[in-house]
Amino acid sequence: MSWLFAFALAALLLPSRPAIALSLAAGQLIMGLNFFFLEKLVKLFTHGGASSKGARRSVLPGRFFGIAALKLAPVYGGAFALIRTRSVLPAAFAAGLSIPLLTIVLKSILLAFGSGPSSWTRRATSTTAISGNAVKLAAFFFLIPLFAAILVMPGAAGAQTPGQPPHAAAQAAAPAHSESHEEGLPNWVVILNDYFPSSPVVHWMYENQYLVFGWIAGVAFLGFVSFAMRKPTMVPGQLQNALEWIIESMEDVCGGMLGKHLDRYFPYIMAVFFYILTANLIGIIPGFKSSTSTLDVTLALALITFAYVQFSGIRNLGLLGYIDHLAGSPRDVVGFAMLPVMVPVHVLGELVKPVSLSCRLFGNIFGEDTLIVVFVGVAALCLKASLVALAVPPMAGITALFMLLQTLTAIVQALIFSLLTTVYLYMMLPHESHESHEAHGHGDVAAAPHHGP
């Protein structure tokens, strides 16, 4: 996975900063070679030890030195040559080197906490899996905002990203055109920035508000889960019951579509669901902001989902099967004749998925936020004109009403995002199981639209 991630990163950076991207890719490649040879070496030792034949022993040193020399030459030689000739940027190169290491560290942490791929689904009976889930979720929660920040970086150099309103309201000396822009309600980061304008930490938080609030959402949810699941029992308490109800009903819905593949994909689906849900709900609290109300975060989520769906498609169908799926599975003459039309249509259909996912989430959450901002703004205008009786009671009522609506939107959007992820994954699965289900007349496969937007 780390390869995919790093290459996606490099490809993202490629248009704006080619030097950094190339250095990243180079570091990545060298670390990959390093691990490849390291794996060979370790396998040599363990296999030799396992078989423990005398004849094998004598072969071992020769092979060992051969592979070691092979490893040393391109890996360290290549790295030094690259750095010496100054053809790479050191920082980006180091980042490229560290991404696989980071992945391995994360993976070992997950393994240390004893979490398997299906640990989400056995939470009630096996209590040890809970902490592993927490770590997995934590890794996910912290990666998403980071990824979003990377997406922001190329845009921030040029024009201002549309997802970031200029926050002119917070600054006293705002330019005159600020009235016509959308202004977010001042959250506590903005207020903090007003009081401590010189502190670099506060300034960094002000610049990366969505990152901060994304982290807050993650920490809040993790805190909630670890609190609710601190002593999981067979007869669940209130909070545990609520969580288990959510997870079990999602399990029913997703299991109807994914069938026996559920265990593999369910952790990802639930991680997405809970992250979006928490991030959405946090925006309702005054002084906080939904990290999903910027296109950067939702695009990061949608791109990760897109990469995951395509990756699982290749893994499930095989490369040839995947290409066959993209070509619309031609089986007869008409199918092959339609090939030049069907391939672009299918490829476009795949590419539109992340756009529609991210725009839907962003538009809904941002729209709700804007609605509340507008009504609060009207109330503020009335207050300024000292029309207190007109301002406060009806506006408070309307705002409360829309906050109720916002809660509904938050839940529904999280549900839609994760269900669409499920549908996309389902469309990438081999369809034999689905057809056999129908042939047996079970009909327990939930109706899933075959044609996405």
Partner 1 sequence: MNFAATLGLALPIGIGLAAIGSGIGLGFMGRGAMEAMGRQPEALPKIQVAMIIGFGFIEALTIYAFVTMFFLQGKIG
User: How many CA atoms lie within 13 Å of 248's alpha carbon, on the beta-carbon side?
Assistant: 9
**Nearer Cβ to partner 1, position 14 or 253?**
253
Write down the least CB distance from residue 371 to partner 1, Å.
11
**Nearer Cβ to partner 1, position 39 or 252?**
252
Under a CB-based contact definition with an 8 Å cutoff, are residues 127 and 147 in contact? no
Query: What tokens appear for 415 in the block?
Result: 């549900």
One-letter amino acid of 406: Q
- Could you list the residues that contact partner 1 (CB under 8 A)? 162, 249, 252-253, 256, 356, 359-360, 362-364, 366-367, 412, 415-416, 419-420, 423, 446-449, 452-453
Query: What tokens appear for 390 in the block?
Result: 């007109």
**Nearer Cβ to partner 1, position 398 or 446?**
446
Phi first, then psi: what are they for 221, rounded to 5°? -65, -40
One-letter amino acid of 145: P
Write down the least CB distance from residue 270 to partner 1, Å.
16
Place of tokens 């889960």: 225
Under a CB-based contact definition with an 8 Å cutoff, are residues 77 and 83 in contact? no
**Nearer Cβ to partner 1, position 33 or 448?**
448
Write down the least CB distance from residue 414 to partner 1, Å.
11
Write down the least CB distance from residue 249 to partner 1, Å.
8
CA-based R_g, the chain, Å? 26
Write down the least CB distance from residue 413 to partner 1, Å.
8
**Nearer Cβ to partner 1, position 46 or 249?**
249
Write down the least CB distance from residue 162 to partner 1, Å.
6
SS3 sequence of 337-353: HCHHHHHHHHHHHHHHH
**Nearer Cβ to partner 1, position 192 or 416?**
416
**Nearer Cβ to partner 1, position 17 or 360?**
360
**Nearer Cβ to partner 1, position 74 or 452?**
452
Under a CB-based contact definition with an 8 Å cutoff, are residues 356 and 344 in contact? no
Write down the least CB distance from residue 359 to partner 1, Å.
5
One-letter amino acid of 344: P
**Nearer Cβ to partner 1, position 129 or 303?**
303
Select from 232, 230, 273, 231 the least CA-distant residue to 251.
273
Give the CA distances from residue 270 to residues 39, 161, 354, in Å, rounded to whole numbers and listed in that order.
33, 29, 18
Q: Is 278 exposed, middle or buried (0-12, 13-18, 19+ CB in 10 A)?
A: buried
Under a CB-based contact definition with an 8 Å cutoff, are residues 27 and 96 in contact? yes
Write down the least CB distance from residue 114 to partner 1, Å.
33
| 154 Cβ neighbours under 8 A, 6+ residues apart | 12, 13, 15, 16, 17
Write down the least CB distance from residue 160 to partner 1, Å.
10
